[in-house]
Amino acid sequence: MEKLTILYGTETGNAELLAMDAGKHANEQGFEADVRGMDQIDVDELCNVRRLLIFCSTWGDGEQPGNAQDLFDAVSACGTGTFSGLNYGVLALGDTAFDLFCESGKEWDAVFEEKGANRLIERMDCDTDYEDDAAYWTESSINEMKTIE
């Protein structure tokens, strides 16, 4: 069975719930989903991942949520081609009331591209009413992941 890694960066659990739903859906679609918080994986393990979905909220003033900052810093410190074997998509959670809307998700999307990964799915930036958009993005992303050998 093909593995699909799903990571969440969260403060109050919204991104975690979306990641859990995505894991369930991925398993139903024949993947072996591995759903984890961003503080439950290190960069060495992440280097060997081929399929990755990220669900990440933004906190403070455009900052990474608490469980995401260390991994983000570690990925940012990697060399240019480190993630050349990775196919990824990012769903960003945020609130348009803030100036730096969905900034953390934008940062994840950009850093993986910078480190050589393949953006398989366009990022979705979600406002507070995100359920339908997130469900649609999740379903189409998992379908797209089926195209990766």
By CB under 6 A, name the binding residues for ligand FMN: 10-15, 57-62, 65, 93-95, 98, 100-103
CB of 47 vs ligand FMN, minimal distance in Å: 25
* Residue 62 or 116 having the CB closest to ligand FMN: 62
* Residue 11 or 75 having the CB closest to ligand FMN: 11
Of 45, 144, 42, 48, nearest to 90 (Cα)? 144
Question: Which residues are CB-contacts of 60 (< 8 A; sequence separation ≥ 6)?
Answer: none
* Residue 4 or 15 having the CB closest to ligand FMN: 15
CB of 65 vs ligand FMN, minimal distance in Å: 5
CB of 120 vs ligand FMN, minimal distance in Å: 22
CB of 26 vs ligand FMN, minimal distance in Å: 19
* Residue 57 or 82 having the CB closest to ligand FMN: 57
CA distance from start to end of the chain: 11
Contact 38, 6 (CB under 8 A): no
DSSP 123-142: -EEE-SS-HHHHHHHHHHHH
Q: Return the percent helix, strand and coil in the chain, to nearest 5.
A: 40, 25, 40
